[in-house]
Amino acid sequence: MTFIQIILLVLVLVILWRLYQRLAAGELTRREFVEWFLLWLAAGYLVIVPETSSYLATVVGVGRGSDLVAIILVFYLLFKIFLRLERSERALTTIVRQLALKNTEDKKDSKE
Amino acid sequence: MKVFAIIPALEAVSSVGRVVEGLKNYVAEIVVVDDGSTDDTAQVAQKTGAQVLRHLVNRGYGAALITGSAYALARGAEAIVHFDADGQFTSADLPKLLAALKYGQPSAALGSRFLGTAVNIPVLRKIILKLGIIFTWATTGLKLTDAHNGLRAFTREAWGKFNLKQDRMAISSEIIQEIAEHKIPYMEVPVTVTYTADTLRGSKQGRMPAIKIVRDLFIGKFLR
């Protein structure tokens, strides 16, 4: 095992431990925990057996293993950002709706 | 029967007055939700006699429908009917739609342009709508003849059961999903939809509304 592999592996283990702590503290839902845990477990596996990514890459027709990892990571993060965006869009809608309903009530009150 | 009409409106100054006028004989109150228009949509609607609610910034067709419907229910509506501001629907279809409801219980009446008439419908629009019907059948199990028709009516009891979250055009699919999920009795009613330059402007929805609807439904699956 190379030096960089050991560093990365320690990093992954720390992240897995942090995930568990956040689950215990109630900061993550069980489903979120499982998602992230599996993702980092896979990352840890790739660190130990990097050839796996090259094998998977050739299977799906991507040139290099590291390219495949990068592509999957970027897509995953993009998806997460989409979700976060939609969540804040919906929060904004709630505020705009409450204002619309409240302003109409106020106008009615002042007329009556 | 206390029926409220809900009309989401965006930059609809040229048609909203006519639409509100046409609905007056059929409903107790007309609610126009101005979804952040920059033109005089709100003023025209108000002058014609509608109750106007204003979204301070544009939130989309679905968001406006939910706002207007929430207002109607809070004001004691026994039934609500959704209508479009661009003039594509026929107000004379309302009595048929409202007659199909079973008041005092969960019930829905869905307008269908393919049971009725679609005047001057462009071929591409027709194909996309037909694909939408298949998509709706595959995702909800409901076999409708027109799955994305904005002319529909609900009793208070039906609308109260729905848990709707889509801000944009995907709300039409979401409504059908909720009807299926809560097993709301529904009936399709033939209606006339007329396509004109006004109703086909399309700029509101961008170029690919169908793809956006599928995307929004997909993203929605991952949000509580």
Q: Specify the pLDDT at position B203.
A: 46
CA distances from B106 to A60, B25, B78, B97, B111 (A): 50, 25, 11, 15, 17
With an 8 Å Cβ cutoff, is B222 touching chain A? yes
Inter-chain Cβ pairs, chain A and chain B, closer than 8 A: 49
A101 chain-B contacts, CB cut-off 8 A:
53, 67, 70-71, 74
Q: Is the pLDDT assigned to residue A36 strictly greater than 70? A: yes
pLDDT confidence bin for B184, thresholds 50/70/90:
very high
Note whether A101 contacts B66, CB cutoff 8 Å.
Answer: no
Task: Express each pLDDT in B10-52 by its tens digit.
Answer: 999 999 999 999 999 999 999 999 999 999 999 999 999 999 9
Sheet holding B51-54, edge to edge: B51-54, B29-34, B3-9, B79-82, B152-155, B108-119, B186-194
Enclosing H/E stretch for B152 = strand B152-155
Cross-strand partners of B108: B154, B186
B167 vs A93, A99, A104: nearest CB: A93
Average pLDDT, chain B: 93
Note whether B55 contacts A90, CB cutoff 8 Å.
Answer: no
Place of tokens 């529904």: B186
With an 8 Å Cβ cutoff, is B75 touching chain A? no
The residue ranges of every structural domain in chain A are 3-81
Note whether B57 contacts A82, CB cutoff 8 Å.
Answer: no
A92 chain-B contacts, CB cut-off 8 A:
57, 59
A93 vs B52, B54, B59: nearest CB: B59
Q: Is the pLDDT assigned to residue B201 strictly greater than 50? A: yes
Task: Express each pLDDT in B104-156 by its tens digit.
Answer: 999 999 999 999 999 999 898 899 999 999 999 999 999 999 989 999 999 99
Q: Is the pLDDT assigned to residue A111 strictly greater than 70? A: no
With an 8 Å Cβ cutoff, is A91 touching chain B? no
With an 8 Å Cβ cutoff, is A111 touching chain B? no
Place of tokens 């939130």: B59
With an 8 Å Cβ cutoff, is B55 touching chain A? yes
Note whether B70 contacts A97, CB cutoff 8 Å.
Answer: yes
Cβ under 8 Å to A: B residues 165-184: 165, 167
Mind listing the domains of chain B with CATH numbers? Answer: 3-221 (3.90.550.10)
Query: Which percentage of chain B shows pLDDT scores above 90?
Result: 83
Q: Are B218 and B202 in contact (CB under 8 A)?
A: no
With an 8 Å Cβ cutoff, is B33 touching chain A? yes
